[in-house]
Amino acid sequence: MLSTVRSKRLSLSEWLKTITFYEILVGMKATLSHVLNYRPITLQYPHEKRTLPDNYRGMLALLRYDDGTEKCVGCDLCEAACPSRVIRVVSAEVPGEPTKRYSKEYYMDMTRCLFCGMCVDACPVDALGMTREFEWAVFDKRQLHLNKQQLLAIGDRSFPIREKRLELQHPNVAFFNVPFTHVPPKPN
Amino acid sequence: MSELGLRLAISLTQIGAIMGIVIVTVLLLTLAERKVLGWMQDRMGPMEVGPYGILQPFADAIKLFFKEDIIPAGANKLLFTMAPIICLIPAFIGFAVIPWGPNWTFEIGGITVKPFVISDINIGILYILAFASLGAYGIIIGGWASNSKYSLLGGLRSAAQIISYELNVGLSIIGIVILAGSLSLVKITDAQQGWFWHWYLFALPAPQIFAFVVYVISAVAETNRVPFDLPEAESELVAGFFTEYSGLRFAFFFLAEYANMVLVSCVAAALFLGGWNAPYPGTILELLGLPSLAWIENTMWFAVKTYSFLFLFFWLRATLPRLRYDQLMKFGWKVLLPIALANIVVTSIAVFFTQ
């Protein structure tokens, strides 16, 4: 049997549309109508800013208590949790207090950070936080290698309302390495 | 002042004026294109530099000046440096024969001056086509001298495209040459005086509408504009012949592209749309009793036609997606070329039986 499949033949109207560029003209009419009826639909970013959700994972920051002392106890858990090895912590003893440690140096190489938030999850004392800052384009990549002072400054400006010291909170919260002798009373 | 010195001074003045107009137009085109694309696609376009972004071209120029200028290792330094210039010069040289105002002459110190055309040579179209084809050398040399296989292949691809479509540009113009019986742009424009149906686009006995369509499509392709911007193809091919170019050298290629756009638009206005002629006989300023100011109206009409044609370039860019390379070549050789050739035959027969 002969095959009955044939190549599709254009009907007269289709053929006319092809040679007169009908589809292209329709498209050009659409674009021209947008010139005459111009309504910008994009967000004018530097002038208008979208309100970010509360759980937005932006720039990382180190936090302080409300009396200005650093939360970080230099336990290195964030360093261990970080998949991209962004964080480097050098911890040391608090002078005169052999059981108490703090982070002597704290570095974050934000060129490698992928903002997964695992360091924040890992931190036992909530010393790390993710801010809503995202405008961190710089001309020199070395500026993204942040030290402790810079990270604390980011925390200071992004979290103006801070927590109380651990030992001033609930008595059962703070048992890591804070050798408190005086247990404050419960709030109520 | 000697006659030669005077002649030189007049020519240099004219060249300076035309160069100034063209360079300012090219600068503004870069802004206008982004604005028009913004409007057509419901975006803002450049708005930051200066009021409504009007200083954007200058910001672009400054930025390109200070970009790092890289010459790849193993590149042929001389040819690599020369390629953008080889592209740029032919694009500007073509403006010498464009009549952008009425065909007047007056005498200064015994020398006949045509104020609105730098050089009225009787092979004007041939001259433009000859020099426009030199741009392909710039592209192919730029691709070869980069010492990069991407650039070499990109250059060959772009050269093949430009040559294919230049053929169609040349052939679509021949119908008008037959009608006018001259290769001089001034004579061709003069022959289109009167009502707008005397323009060669509509003129009897052989309206050049099909030739105009072929010319528009080929001109878009020849100047590497969307939808025929295969040489750029930044999304799927990561540029072609200028992969290795940076900074000002890269900008020169685009300056050449924009100058070519202006040139192609001027040629379209002069050949198909009556050049500096108004769509009605004479000029309004003449009827108002100001014949000495009629050139303002005439040059304005030329500008309107040229800029409308340039707007068409932007309009096409905002509307159409890019063609595939085999579609591009097929369209040029199997569709446009036969139409252009048929147009020549029909025009010749029509002219033969009416004159």
Q: Kindly provide the ipTM of the predicted complex, given to two decimals.
A: 0.81
CB contacts under 8 A, A 66-125 vs B, are: none
CB of A25 less than 8 A from some CB of B: no
CA distance B36 to chain A (A): 8
pLDDT at residue B159 greater than cutoff 70: yes
More confident residue, A5 or A129: A129
Banded pLDDT at B141 (limits 50, 70, 90): very high
Residues B84, B250: Cα–Cα separation, whole Å: 8
Q: What is the 3-state secondary structure (H, E, C) of chain A?
A: CCCCCCCCCCCHHHHHHHHCCHHHHHHHHHHHHHHHCCCCCCCCCCCCCCCCCCCCCCCEEECEECCCCECCCCCCHHHHHCCCCCEEEEEEEECCEEEEEEEEEEEEECCCCCCCCHHHHHCCCCCEEECCCCCCCCCCHHHHEECHHHHHHHHHHHCCCCECCHHHCCCCCCCCCCCCCCCCCCCC
Cβ pairs bridging A and B (under 8 Å): 37
The answer to whether the CB of B45 falls within 8 A of the CB of B53 is: yes
Interface test with B, best of A21, A22, A31 (most B CBs within 10 A): A31
Q: What is the CA radius of gyration of chain A?
A: 30
Q: What is the mean pLDDT of chain A?
A: 85
Which residues make Cβ contacts (< 8 Å) with residue A117, sequence separation at least 6? A57, A130
pLDDT, tens only, A113-160: 999 999 999 998 889 999 998 999 999 999 999 999 999 999 999 888
pLDDT at residue B225 greater than cutoff 60: yes
How much is the average pLDDT of B75-100? 91
Interface test with A, best of B37, B44, B214 (most A CBs within 10 A): B44
Q: Which of B179, B88, B196, B102 is nearest to B138 (CA)?
A: B88
Banded pLDDT at B1 (limits 50, 70, 90): low
Banded pLDDT at B323 (limits 50, 70, 90): confident
pLDDT at residue A176 greater than cutoff 60: no
More confident residue, B233 or B255: B255
- Please indicate whether, in this complex, the C-beta atoms of B42 and A40 are within 8 angstroms of each other: yes
pLDDT at residue B2 greater than cutoff 90: no
The answer to whether the CB of B139 falls within 8 A of the CB of B87 is: yes
Number of other residues whose CB lies within 10 A of the CB of residue A186: 8
Which residues make Cβ contacts (< 8 Å) with residue B193, sequence separation at least 6? B274, B277, B281
pLDDT at residue A169 greater than cutoff 70: no
pLDDT at residue A178 greater than cutoff 70: no
Banded pLDDT at A172 (limits 50, 70, 90): low
- Please indicate whether, in this complex, the C-beta atoms of A32 and B48 are within 8 angstroms of each other: no
CB contacts under 8 A, B 284-343 vs A, are: 315-316, 318-320
pLDDT at residue A179 greater than cutoff 60: no
pLDDT at residue A106 greater than cutoff 80: yes
Interface test with A, best of B44, B319, B339 (most A CBs within 10 A): B319
CB of B68 less than 8 A from some CB of A: no
**pLDDT for A30:** 92
More confident residue, B292 or A90: A90
pLDDT, tens only, A15-49: 898 888 899 999 999 999 998 998 888 888 888 88
CB of B44 less than 8 A from some CB of A: yes
Interface test with B, best of A22, A29, A35 (most B CBs within 10 A): A35
Q: Which of A35, A107, A38 is nearest to B36 (CA)?
A: A35
**pLDDT for B295:** 87
**pLDDT for B125:** 92
**pLDDT for A104:** 92
**pLDDT for A28:** 93
Q: Which of B89, B131, B171, B162 is nearest to B337 (CA)?
A: B171
- Please indicate whether, in this complex, the C-beta atoms of B44 and A44 are within 8 angstroms of each other: yes
Residues A123, A166: Cα–Cα separation, whole Å: 14
pLDDT at residue A183 greater than cutoff 70: no
**pLDDT for B173:** 92
What would the two tokens of residue B279 be? 């769509």
pLDDT at residue B302 greater than cutoff 80: yes
Residues B194, B192: Cα–Cα separation, whole Å: 7
How much is the average pLDDT of B244-269? 90
CB contacts under 8 A, A 149-188 vs B, are: none
Of A67-71, B107-111, B312-316, B348-352, least confident by mean pLDDT is B107-111
The answer to whether the CB of A83 falls within 8 A of the CB of A117 is: no
Banded pLDDT at B232 (limits 50, 70, 90): confident
- Percent with pLDDT over 90 in chain B: 45
**pLDDT for A182:** 59
- Please indicate whether, in this complex, the C-beta atoms of A31 and B43 are within 8 angstroms of each other: no
Search chain B and give the residue with CA nearest A19: B335
Residues of B in contact with A39 (CB under 8 A): 42
pLDDT, tens only, B31-47: 999 999 999 988 888 88
Banded pLDDT at A177 (limits 50, 70, 90): very low
**pLDDT for B184:** 92
Banded pLDDT at B171 (limits 50, 70, 90): very high
**pLDDT for A122:** 93
Of B40, B43, B44, the CB nearest to A31: B40
Phi, psi of A33 (to 5 degrees): -65, -25
How much is the average pLDDT of B315-333? 90
How much is the average pLDDT of B86-92? 90
CA distance A91 to chain B (A): 43
The answer to whether the CB of B168 falls within 8 A of the CB of B133 is: no
CA distance A149 to chain B (A): 34
Q: What is the mean pLDDT of chain B?
A: 89
- Please indicate whether, in this complex, the C-beta atoms of A28 and B36 are within 8 angstroms of each other: no
